[in-house]
Amino acid sequence: MSNSVSEPLLLIGGGRMGEALAAGLTRNGWDRAALVVVEAVAARREALGQAGLQTAATIGDGLRALCEARREVAGAGSGVGAVVAVKPHDVEAVSRELAGLVSGAAGGDLPPVGRVLSIAAGVTLEDLDSWLAPMVALRAMPNTPALVGAAASVVSAGRRASEADVEWAAEVLSAVGSVTVLPESALDAVTGLSGSGPAYVFLVAEALIDAGVLAGLARPVARDLAVQTLLGSARLLAETGEEPAALRAGVTSPGGTTAAGLRALEGAGVRSALLEAVMAATERARQLGQRH
């Protein structure tokens, strides 16, 4: 990571996504001394500490710990970046607390925070810009494969964000997978497709496993075959760059078994069901965004 020692990082929220991001950053070269995870729950702090992560119980304590990082980490810059990885209903309180600490830090013992990346679903950049002013706000939507370093993440910039700020956010998110930069207007559709998409894939996996059992396979065998089929098919799509329709045609012989299976899927409306699922999730994302 080119920026691994240039800006100490405060990660607010040590849940599954926060832990995945912290683990990905340290795995990819982010200096552990320059990363502090703020987590209010003592048991979670203990678990994160056992995983080798530096923790703090409050945002203020975390910022104070990063004062030492700015002095001790070679090449560390003067500022601090922050990632907000808490539940959506907690983002406003966390943002206002962070802004209050930073605005009161002049001449004190707390370092300045220049930019903040929120990964909470449904919290708009308009709200983040308001709550975090004068800090730079960015918003991202990573999905749960971040837990294994295979996320599809999208980042959007607030009104005060520069190209350098977007690059910083993309570098942080790249620790857990691929990153795409899009305007915020695309994020509801992103939520409907890649944010909720893993659940659709897991439902397909469940159905394939059950079908294998119904066809006479032992459940562990059916699970292994279904998982590897999904994994291999995704790699084939990613690595060949071919369109899904072309790859599907390559598997399908006229009058063969695959043709019979595809006919059953089309007859059951699987394609239209997936279209409706993405659109329903997208609309729900819009509704949730209007609440914040």
Each residue's pLDDT expressed in tens, for the chain with a length of 292 residues: 554 445 789 999 999 999 999 999 998 888 888 899 999 999 999 999 999 999 999 999 999 888 876 666 555 555 789 999 999 999 999 999 999 888 765 546 777 888 999 999 889 999 999 999 999 999 999 999 999 999 999 999 999 999 999 999 999 999 999 999 999 999 999 999 999 999 999 999 999 999 999 999 999 999 999 999 999 999 999 999 999 999 999 999 999 999 999 999 999 999 999 999 999 999 998 888 776 5
Structural domains in the chain, CATH included, are 9-183 (3.40.50.720), 197-288 (1.10.3730.10)
d(CA 204, CA 234): 13
Q: Which amino acid is at 53?
A: L
d(CA 218, CA 250): 29
Q: Which amino acid is at 122?
A: G
d(CA 123, CA 290): 9
Q: How many CB atoms lie within 10 A of CB 50?
A: 8
Evaluate the CA torsion angle 256, 233, 238, 264 in order and state its sign: positive
- What does the pLDDT read at residue 5? 45
Closest residue by Cα to residue 99 from 170, 212, 12, 22: 12
DSSP label at residue 146: G
